[in-house]
Structure 1
C-alpha cells in the first residue's frame, strides 16, 4: 500500500482489518449476539464498558482544546450518561458500589490513562477504535441485545443509541475526513496506527476473559 497516496482512514482500516476481525469473532461476542448468555452475562459487559469509557471520556475533557485531538471530542459521542442509565436499570440503586472491572478491563483503562493525556495521536487512536466501532457494528450488537435480553434503548441498552447523531453514515464519513486531514508526519501516523492495534489487543483481552461467562453448550450446540 502506498502510504503517501492512500487516505489515512483507509490505511487504518486496511492495516487493522485482521485485529478487527479477531475482535468480532471472539466467543463472548458470538454468544452475546446469539442470545446464549444469561442477563448477568450481559450486565458484566456493561460494567466493563463503564470502566473503559470513564477512562476515555475523562481524558477527552483534558484534550478538548488540543489542536490535533480537540476536533474529535464531541459530546454527541459521550457514552457515560447512557451507561449510568443502563446500570441503574440493570442493577438498581447503589450500582456504583456494586461494580468492579475485570483485570483485563482495568489494564485497558490504565493504558488509556497512561498514554492518552500526553499524546494526541494515542488519544485519537483509542477514540477511533471505540467510537467508530460503536457507530458501525455496535448498532447490530444493540439490536441483538434488545432482542435477547429484555432491554431497550431506554432501559438497559441506552449505550447503543446515539440520540444526537441523526445520520450515522454521514457522521462516520466526516470523522474519517478528520483523520485524513490530520497534520501528522509519518512517525505520528505510525504511532497512531500502533496504538489502534494496542487498543484492539486490550479489547480482545477483555472479551477473552468474558468468555468464561459463555455456557459450555450454546443453543448452536457448540462446546
Structure 2
C-alpha cells in the first residue's frame, strides 16, 4: 500500500469526526448569521498565515518543496473574504481562539523545520479545501446569499482540483521517507485533524455564547 492510500485509510475516522461538529452542522444548515460564518474565516486566516509562512521556508526542501504547488495559496482569498464580511477594519475585530492559538503553536513547532510535519499539515488543509471545501462553498452561497464575494477561500482559479489531488497523492507515494518517518507523518496528519476539530469546537462554543 502506497503512502497516499495509507494516509486515507489511517485518517478515515478523523475525517468523519471533523465533519460531525456542532458548529459545522449549524453553518451548513444556514443556522448562523454572517458574523457566525465570518468567525470561521477569521480563524482560518490565522492558521493559513502561519502555514503559508512555513511554505515559504519549505520551498527549498527537496521533498517538502514539491508539495508547495502554485495556485493553492489561501491567504489573499481569506483577506478578501474578511474585508467583504467584516469591513476594512477587520484586523481589529478578530483574534485567534485558544484552540487556533494551539494549532498555530504546533505549526511553528513542526512545519518550519520538519519536512514530513509540514507536509502533514499542508495535506490536511489543502486537500480538504480541494475536496469537501467545494461542497461547503455551494452550501454557504445558498444559505447566506453569497456569490464570489465572501467565498473566495473556497475558490481555486486556474486550478483543477481533481488533477491537483492526483498529483499530490503521487508525490506522497514518491517520498523517500523510511517506514518510521512515514508512521510519524501519519501520526502528525491525525493530530492535524484533531487540531482542526478543536478549532471548530471553539467556534461552536463562541456561537452558543452569543
TM-score interval (norm. to shorter): over 0.9
- Is the contact made by 2:35 and 2:85 (CA closer than 8 Å) also made in structure 1? no
Q: Aligned partners of 1:213 and 1:86: how far apart in 2?
A: 20
Report the Cα offset of residue 188 of structure 1.
1.0
Determine if the alignment matches structure 1 residue 179 to structure 2 residue 172: yes
Partner of 1:52: 47
Determine if the alignment matches structure 1 residue 204 to structure 2 residue 197: yes
Count of residue pairs the alignment pairs up? 209
SS of 1:183's partner is coil
Q: Aligned partners of 1:117 and 1:100: how far apart in 2?
A: 23
Q: Aligned partners of 2:112 and 2:99: how far apart in 1?
A: 21
- Is the contact made by 1:28 and 1:213 (CA closer than 8 Å) also made in structure 2? no
- Is the contact made by 1:36 and 1:214 (CA closer than 8 Å) also made in structure 2? no
Partner of 1:33: 28
Determine if the alignment matches structure 1 residue 150 to structure 2 residue 160: no
- Is the contact made by 1:37 and 1:215 (CA closer than 8 Å) also made in structure 2? no
Report the Cα offset of residue 20 of structure 1.
0.5
- Is the contact made by 2:22 and 2:201 (CA closer than 8 Å) also made in structure 1? yes
**Structure 1: any 5+ residue segments left out of the alignment?**
1-5, 217-223
Determine if the alignment matches structure 1 residue 193 to structure 2 residue 186: yes
When normalised by structure 2's length, the TM-score is 0.96
Q: Aligned partners of 1:213 and 1:42: how far apart in 2?
A: 12
Q: Aligned partners of 1:47 and 1:58: how far apart in 2?
A: 17
Report the Cα offset of residue 15 of structure 1.
0.6
Report the Cα offset of residue 202 of structure 1.
0.5
SS of 2:23's partner is helix
Partner of 2:109: 114
For the aligned residue pairs, the C-alpha RMSD in angstroms reads 1.3
**Structure 2: any 5+ residue segments left out of the alignment?**
none
What does the per-residue CA deviation read over 1:140-165, in whole Å, with 9 as the maximum and x for residues that have no partner?
Answer: 01111111112222x11100000020
Aligned equivalent of 1:19, options 14, 23, 31: 14
Report the Cα offset of residue 115 of structure 1.
1.1
Determine if the alignment matches structure 1 residue 161 to structure 2 residue 161: no
- Is the contact made by 1:12 and 1:193 (CA closer than 8 Å) also made in structure 2? yes
SS of 1:44's partner is helix
Partner of 2:96: 101
- Is the contact made by 1:53 and 1:80 (CA closer than 8 Å) also made in structure 2? yes
- Is the contact made by 1:31 and 1:214 (CA closer than 8 Å) also made in structure 2? no
- Is the contact made by 1:66 and 1:120 (CA closer than 8 Å) also made in structure 2? yes
Q: Aligned partners of 1:19 and 1:152: how far apart in 2?
A: 31
Max Rg structure: 1
Q: Aligned partners of 1:146 and 1:33: how far apart in 2?
A: 10
